Amino acid sequence: MEQISLEYALETLLKQIQPLNTVEEKYILDSLGFVLAEDIFSPLNNPPFNRSPLDGFTLNSNDSIGATKENPVTFNVISEVFAGDFCNKKLSSKEAFRIMTGAPIPDGCNCVIKQEDVVFNEETKALYITKELKPFENFCFLGEDLKINDLVVKKGEIITYNHIGVFASLGINTIKVLKKPKVGVLSLGSELTMPGKTLEKGKIYNSNLFTLISKLKYLGVEGVMYPPMSDDSTLVSNFISKELKNIDLLITTGGVSVGKKDIMHDVIKELNANRLFGKLISNLELPF
């Protein structure tokens, strides 16, 4: 069988692959590395209220008209609003609220000035504004980041820690994902010894198995590691025939050259399997 390019081999393999469509529901912290099986739309506005981006004072900007350093406008601070609070007090002319970062901006207020830019008397609650404020200055609007029914994450994306943070910010704790493929890795060769065991004469440690399993895990695939098998085509073909029922894909390593103990050629025949290609040449750098 003549050599073919890696590009052609990949194209050939992809034509043989059947997509896995098994969907399962996962708690968001357990979904890392899975493929999202549904579009995620925002169930709420984010932020869910007008909020302050800084620590300072909130008021109606119209009341600050004419304020200068020489002629400051005096406000009466009637209450404080912290993150997690909700204030429904009515704002009258020349009144203000002290407000903290992330707190809801009360009705009637349309700007925030940071506390470093004002003079405030803690005892009398008098606030002195020395400049005119613009409407919606330092003001985070309801739904500024996301609005209800906005598409947040598209189906088919691989879930990262960033996605999980977004899900949590929307109050979503479970999502639908595609079940991960289960890929078995079988290494062949009577000379192979598993790491941790004493290395006998004529033997070598089985590194390919661990490299491939690690790569599969890195790619978000469930890897199934089998102990190495000896160079016996009937033993190997029987094992493969039985194990294929439990996995989605099998990768074998070893036994494919032209030596007397390279048994995979016989294994393919015993399994009545189709051989799509043989030797490869490649100039392609894979992105993983």
Residue 17 has pLDDT above 90, yes or no: no
Model-level pTM? 0.73
What pLDDT was estimated at residue 265? 85
pLDDT per position as a tens digit, 34-72 = 999 999 999 999 999 999 999 999 999 999 999 999 999
Determine the average pLDDT of the residues in 19-31: 94
Residues 6+ apart with CB under 8 A from 106: 58, 81, 87, 88, 89, 91, 97
What pLDDT was estimated at residue 20? 86
What pLDDT was estimated at residue 213? 95
Report which DSSP code applies to 27: E
Of 108-122, 124-138, 250-264, the range with the lowest mean pLDDT is 250-264
Question: Which domains are seen in the chain, by residue range?
Answer: 4-20+181-281 (3.40.980.10), 24-43+147-178 (3.90.105.10), 56-129 (2.170.190.11)
Nearest to 146 by CA among 170, 162, 124, 126: 170
What are the Cα distances from residue 177, in Å, to 27, 146, 181, 207, 209? 10, 23, 12, 32, 28
Query: Which residues pair with residue 120 across a beta bridge?
Result: 127
Categorize the per-residue pLDDT at 264 as very low, low, confident or very high, splitting at 50, 70 and 90. confident
Q: What is the 3-state secondary structure (H, E, C) of 127-189?
A: EEECCCCCCCCCCECCCCCECCCCEEECCCCECCHHHHHHHHHCCCCEEEEECCCEEEEEEEC
What pLDDT was estimated at residue 287? 53
Distance, first Cα to last Cα, the chain: 28
Percent of the chain topping pLDDT 70: 95
Residue 286 has pLDDT above 60, yes or no: no
Rg (CA), the chain: 33
Token pair 């000379």 is found at: 191
Categorize the per-residue pLDDT at 279 as very low, low, confident or very high, splitting at 50, 70 and 90. confident
- The mean pLDDT of the chain is 91
- The residue ranking higher by pLDDT, 217 or 28, is 28
Q: Which H or E element spans position 223? A: strand 222-225
Token pair 């198995």 is found at: 209
Of 35-39, 198-202, 262-266, the range with the lowest mean pLDDT is 262-266
What pLDDT was estimated at residue 108? 95
What pLDDT was estimated at residue 282? 62
What pLDDT was estimated at residue 63? 97
